[in-house]
Amino acid sequence: MSKGHSTFLEYRIYRKKFLGTIIVVIVLCLSAFSGVLFFFIRNWINDVQIQSQYRFQQKERQLENIQTWTRSYVEGLYTDTALMEDLKALFGAVNNQDYIAKRRENSLNSDSEIRYVPSDIKKLFLDGRTKICGVTLRSDNGIKALRMTNYDLWVDFECRTIEDVKTIPGFGDIMASSYSVRDPDNMSISMGTMDFWISTADFYEDNDEINASWGIFDADGDMLAHSKMSPQQEAELFQAALRGVQFDWLENTGSRRTFFTKHTSNQGTFSYVVIKSIGELVADNRYVVGVIGTTLFLIAFGIILFTNMQLKADYEFLSKIIHMLSHMESGEFADVQEEDLSSERRKNEYGMIAVALKDVGAKLQGHIQREYVWKLKEQETQMRALQHQINPHFLYNTLETLRSRALLEGDRDTADAIALLGALYRARTHTKDTITLGEEFKLLEMYLKIMELRFGDNFFYQVELEDALREIPTVSFWLQPLAENFFTHGFDRESMYNLLIISGHPQGSDTVIEIMDNGSGVPADQLEQVQKTMREGNDDPEADIGLRNVYMRLNYFYGNGFKMEIGNNPEGGFKISILIPGKVEEDVHIGDRG
């Protein structure tokens, strides 16, 4: 056996465990990193959605305020007759000269001072809250565009369409509100429509607070305003603007994994689109990603370091165990006992193995000594058997001669007894060491029939073995010594009724054999000594070794689970109970018994 290795990595069991731990830790940490990062990315995406929705709703509320202010302004026009007269003149004029002529006519026909609508509208331009950049008056007489330049309000009569209006520098690109203006003299007649315009760039001038690329699109899909962005981001914005959903992932973005969120105004006049890639999200939150990665790295390093320390400690203790095994392999059991484990005593499996090895060493040394003594006694027994051996053919011939003479003299009982005795002796000399329970019970019945012929009417016996138990393997000629024990110690020649019962029945997966008689039993003060002699033996050559011999043979054959109990029957007599385990041990040299 190898004496050991210099490092624990040279042991295959530790190398596989250590490398396996590293792989598992790395896989778990990468999985945890991916899972945590995915969780945070979902939160970051949700934050972008919330921020964009908040900014959009904020602008929507601001737009609603503008609509409220402009509505109040238009409604206020109806309360000022002079302003309405001038507004009517402006709606009806086809050019600036026509407007001046109509104002002159209004001045001549009015007793009071006439009003000038452009000057009144100017206060809307100067009110920073409204963010009004332009006003259009649309009627059958054309479009008039009112704009303010250097705090002067100008009226442009040259626009033919709304698209022409949008080309006016600084006029505005979003129609914030639009109202039909009716003739105060006849409310069923519409003079035209008054539109209020705002500039997307001015309206969203503070939108860079959101950390993403954004764009404002009108209903036709044209970009009105946007944040600073690359050409690729601009293309992605246009792609998102054409989608009809509020949130989704963009396609064909290459290595960029980009999502968008889209909000459309209640009037449907413009859309607010925000895009951001996963890479940008991670870059914006690189500190958080770094903390997650560092934390998981430290956890992984700590686990690997702890595993290394544990395996190193186990390796050192295992080296001690291997050293003990080397002594045992060499048969140096005394050296195993001398190993000092007091300073290295552990409460885990390695400690249990080391202590068990010391115990096994001590037991092996004792077992070797006991086996040596047992072999000596076995040889002595064999020598005694040889001394008493009789030539079997001589015995068979003699018994057959006696049986024939008994038949000639008409003594049938004697002839049958001699025949049974010859058959029993023949079976004893030719039967294998290992037979079945059925065969062993058959041999017992032959012996009991001989004893029945011998003792006549004052001996009765009963033998019962269930059929399911007949094929169970057992050693040969162990029931007869137990029956002989009855005739030696329990049989009463003066009694007219001596009974011996031998039975076998299953008990769960085990088998129980019982031998009972109605004899005098064993005195209580001697029963304990008989039990001790049966289990431990007795060096006294005069001691009865029948029970001891049967116990040792059966215990050796059946191994763990075998039990043999002796005692007195409550009703009187002696009882022997034998429990045969459900499975015969395979390590008792069954092959040598044939």
CA-wise closest residue to 443 among 478, 413, 411, 417: 478
Confidence class for position 534, pLDDT limits 50, 70, 90:
confident
Q: What is the pLDDT of residue 467?
A: 92
User: Percentage of the chain with pLDDT > 90?
Assistant: 16
**Structural tokens at position 400:** 């057959």
Strands 459-465 and 498-507: parallel
Task: Give every CB contact of residue 291 below 8 A, 6+ residues apart in sequence.
Answer: none
CA-wise closest residue to 482 among 467, 497, 495, 501: 501
Query: Burial level of 328, CB count in 10 A (0-12/13-18/19+)?
Result: middle
Q: Domains, the chain, ranges and CATH? A: 207-284 (3.40.1840.10), 455-593 (3.30.565.10)
Kindly tell me if the per-residue pLDDT of 576 is higher than 90: yes
Identify whether the C-beta of residue 219 lies closer than 8 Å to the C-beta of residue 268. Answer: yes
Q: What is the pLDDT of residue 245?
A: 80
User: What is the rounded CA–CA span in Å between residue 222 and residue 245?
Assistant: 18
Identify whether the C-beta of residue 167 lies closer than 8 Å to the C-beta of residue 180. Answer: no
Residue type, 277: S
Q: What is the pLDDT of residue 562?
A: 93
Residue type, 86: D
Kindly tell me if the per-residue pLDDT of 344 is higher than 60: no
Kindly tell me if the per-residue pLDDT of 586 is higher than 50: no
User: What is the rounded CA–CA span in Å between residue 418 and residue 405?
Assistant: 11
Please give the average per-residue pLDDT across 437-461, as a whole number: 87
User: What is the rounded CA–CA span in Å between residue 193 and residue 173?
Assistant: 17
Confidence class for position 500, pLDDT limits 50, 70, 90:
very high
Q: What is the pLDDT of residue 589?
A: 38
Please give the average per-residue pLDDT across 56-78, as a whole number: 86
Q: What is the pLDDT of residue 43?
A: 92
User: What is the rounded CA–CA span in Å between residue 399 and residue 406?
Assistant: 11
CA-wise closest residue to 93 among 127, 137, 134, 50: 137
User: Percentage of the chain with pLDDT > 70?
Assistant: 77
Please give the average per-residue pLDDT across 74-85, as a whole number: 88
Identify whether the C-beta of residue 477 lies closer than 8 Å to the C-beta of residue 557. Answer: no
Separation in Å, CA 539 to CA 36, 116, 548, 551, 571: 78, 143, 12, 16, 34
Residue count (the chain): 594
Q: What is the pLDDT of residue 205?
A: 66
**Structural tokens at position 441:** 């019970």
User: What is the rounded CA–CA span in Å between residue 315 and residue 340?
Assistant: 17
- Top mean pLDDT of 380-389, 416-425, 486-495 is at 486-495
Q: What is the pLDDT of residue 390?
A: 46
Better-predicted residue by pLDDT, 316 or 467? 467
User: What is the rounded CA–CA span in Å between residue 170 and residue 159?
Assistant: 15
Identify whether the C-beta of residue 110 lies closer than 8 Å to the C-beta of residue 86. Answer: no
Q: What is the pLDDT of residue 192?
A: 92
**Structural tokens at position 179:** 């109202």
Q: Number of helices (H) and strands (E), helices first, in the chain?
A: 17, 17
Query: Which of 80-89, 104-113, 116-125, 130-139 has the weakest average pLDDT?
Result: 104-113
Torsion angle defined by CA atoms of residues 433, 434, 437 and 440, in that order, rounded to the nearest 10 degrees: -20
Please give the average per-residue pLDDT across 536-545, as a whole number: 59
What are the start-end ranges of the E strands in 466-507? 473-475, 498-507
Q: What is the pLDDT of residue 133?
A: 87
Q: What is the pLDDT of residue 388?
A: 47
CA-wise closest residue to 176 among 154, 153, 194: 194
What is the DSSP secondary-structure string of 15-31? HHHHHHHHHHHHHHHHH
Residue bearing tokens 């049938």: 412
Task: Give every CB contact of residue 165 below 8 A, 6+ residues apart in sequence.
Answer: 134, 136, 143, 145, 159, 171, 197
Q: What angle do CA 65, 67, 71 make, to 5 degrees?
A: 120
Identify whether the C-beta of residue 173 lies closer than 8 Å to the C-beta of residue 125. Answer: no
Summarize pLDDT for 480-490 with one digit per residue, the tens: 899 988 888 88
Q: Determine the 3-state secondary structure of 515 from DSSP.
A: strand
**Structural tokens at position 399:** 């018994």
What is the DSSP secondary-structure string of 81-119? HHHHHHHHHHHH-SSHHHHHHHHHHHHHH-SS----HHH
**Structural tokens at position 383:** 């020598």
Better-predicted residue by pLDDT, 425 or 54? 54
Summarize pLDDT for 378-397 with one digit per residue, the tens: 555 554 544 444 455 555 55
Please give the average per-residue pLDDT across 288-296, as a whole number: 91
CA-wise closest residue to 116 among 89, 156, 76, 83: 83
Residue bearing tokens 């001691």: 543
Kindly tell me if the per-residue pLDDT of 593 is higher than 50: no
CA-wise closest residue to 15 among 6, 25, 7: 7
Q: What is the pLDDT of residue 386?
A: 46
